Amino acid sequence: MNLDQECKAALDLPYPPVQTKSRRLDYAHAMLSNVGSGNSEMTAVSLYFYNSVILNPDYADFAQCFHRIGIVEMHHLDIFATLAHQMGLDPRLWCTRNRTKCYWTPAYNSYPRRVREVVEHSIRGEEAAIKKYSRQADEICDEDIVKILERILLDEQRHIEIFHAMLALLA
């Protein structure tokens, strides 16, 4: 199997319109958490960028795949920031914990360097995002936001499939 051929990081499905009429601050803070917390799209983007650099040239197919997945995660980052902004929050790379703004930091990442550990760590990150977005989709009562979360979940599940394909190639 050629990973470069198999690495379709985004599904051929449209995203729902990035819109909400909601002004609920709890929903806005949830979206902001998806932007700039330790378990966030910014964390994924930065880590996948790093992975794409360190895996090249020895694992060029893997590196290219991490690059493609990172682009999809940037799109998710934009979606969540836009939703938070539409609901009245400043879409900086931050989240709110105990009513305190916490800026995103690259210290949220751990940086494994062995290829198997890189991929396994990426799977755990995607699984954490899926758990978080699934919980949000269950708790949020805004159809527009839920549809967006459900669409993004499909991408995150696809990323796990790709990472498992990488692991199979390493076996």
Task: Give the model confidence (pLDDT) of 89-108 as tens digits.
Answer: 999 999 998 889 999 999 99
Residue 106 sits at the vertex; the CA angle it makes with 120 and 55, to the nearest 5 degrees, is: 45
Q: pLDDT grade, residue 9 (50/70/90)? A: confident
Could you give the C-alpha distances from 54 to 48, 58, 60, 100, 170, in angstroms and in order?
10, 9, 10, 35, 16
Number of domains present in the structure of the chain = 1
What's the pLDDT at 99?
87
Residue 14 lies in a domain: no
pLDDT above 90 for 6: no
**Which residue segment(s) compose the domain that 111 sits in?**
23-170
Residue 50 lies in a domain: yes
Residue 75 lies in a domain: yes
Percent of the chain with pLDDT over 90: 91
CATH of the domain at 146: 1.20.1260.10
pLDDT above 80 for 51: yes
Residue 8 lies in a domain: no
9 or 140: whose pLDDT is higher? 140
What's the pLDDT at 4?
60
Which range among 31-40, 71-80, 90-99, 127-136 shows the weakest confidence by mean pLDDT?
A: 90-99
Residue 6 lies in a domain: no
Residue 11 lies in a domain: no
Residue 10 lies in a domain: no
Q: pLDDT grade, residue 1 (50/70/90)? A: very low
Return all residues near 84 (Cβ < 8 A) that are at least 6 apart: 28, 29, 31, 32, 35, 91
pLDDT above 80 for 5: no
Work out the average pLDDT over 115-144: 98
CB burial of residue 162 (10 Å; 0-12, 13-18, 19+) = buried
CA separation for the pair 22, 14 (Å, rounded): 22
Residue 111 lies in a domain: yes
CA separation for the pair 77, 60 (Å, rounded): 25
Work out the average pLDDT over 115-128: 98
